[in-house]
Chain A
Amino acid sequence: MMVQLEWYLILAAALFCVGLYGVLVRRNAVAILMGIELMLNAVNINLLAFWRFTEPAAATGQAFAAFVYAVAAAEVAVGLALIVAIYRNRQTVDMDQINLLKW
């Protein structure tokens, strides 16, 4: 029995939801970034699954997956740099205490 496209989509959706949960509930900023990484991975699974099952001869899905890598790398680089800078100034990475922008 072959693995269907839907299965990959549902798996990716589950991964996305787990990542989303992590992003919304964790207090540590680094943990939030980890959640975002999970979500990006879910996106990549979707892209490659669509590529595999709908047009394996074209390069579209693969190219997009490669661009997602670039975006993920840029996101993680800048995001973690921000966290490090915040920690240096405020000695915390707890998102509930980083409320500078609130007022």
Chain B
Amino acid sequence: MLEQFTFVGFLFLVALFLGLFMFGVPWLLRLRPRKSSSYKSDPYECGLRPHGEAWVQFKAQYYIFALVFLVFDVEAVFLFPWALAYHHLAFYAVLEGVIFILLLTAALIYVWRKGALEWM
């Protein structure tokens, strides 16, 4: 099994090389700004001088979407082995997986009914 990961490891090195290459060539070419000014290096805000700090406060809405995502993500870790063994499972075992999914669907419906999935 580990032999297969030799390839993955080398591909990772190649990918890293590619990334560093694209990143490094302009750096090696020394394409630095010849004239620098504070106007040039200001954060771009459509022509206005930036005002205040960039880390503005966010709505908790984003956090709720991430929560729902997290729950479904963990569900996937359970369901992938289940789907993999699907052919070997008896009917009731498939039903168990279905109940697992239905419980999560219930959670989704609850969140939905509470109005947490609305974009405010």
Measuring CB to CB, which residues of chain A are less than 8 angstroms from any residue of chain B? 66, 69-70, 73, 76-77, 80-81, 84
Contacts and interface: CB of A to CB of B under 8 A. Distances in A.
Nearest to B63: A84
Nearest to B73: A73
Contact of B67 (A69, A70, A81): A81
A70 B70 contact: no
A77 B77 contact: no
Residue with the highest number of chain A CB atoms closer than 10 Å, among B71, B73, B74, B77: B74
Contacts of A69: 74, 77
A77 B81 CA distance: 24
Q: Looking at chain B's contact residues, is the secondary structure mostly helix, strand, loop, or mixed?
A: helix
A67 to B, nearest CB: 9
A77 B71 contact: yes
A70 B63 CA distance: 19
Contact of B78 (A66, A76, A77, A80): A66
Given A77-B67, A81-B67, A70 B74 contact: yes
Nearest to A78: B67
Nearest to B75: A70
Contacts of A77: 67, 70-71
Given A70-B78, A73-B71, A77-B71, 15 more contacts: A66-B78, A66-B81, A69-B74, A69-B77, A70-B74, A73-B73, A73-B74, A76-B70, A77-B67, A77-B70, A80-B63, A81-B63, A81-B67, A84-B60, A84-B63
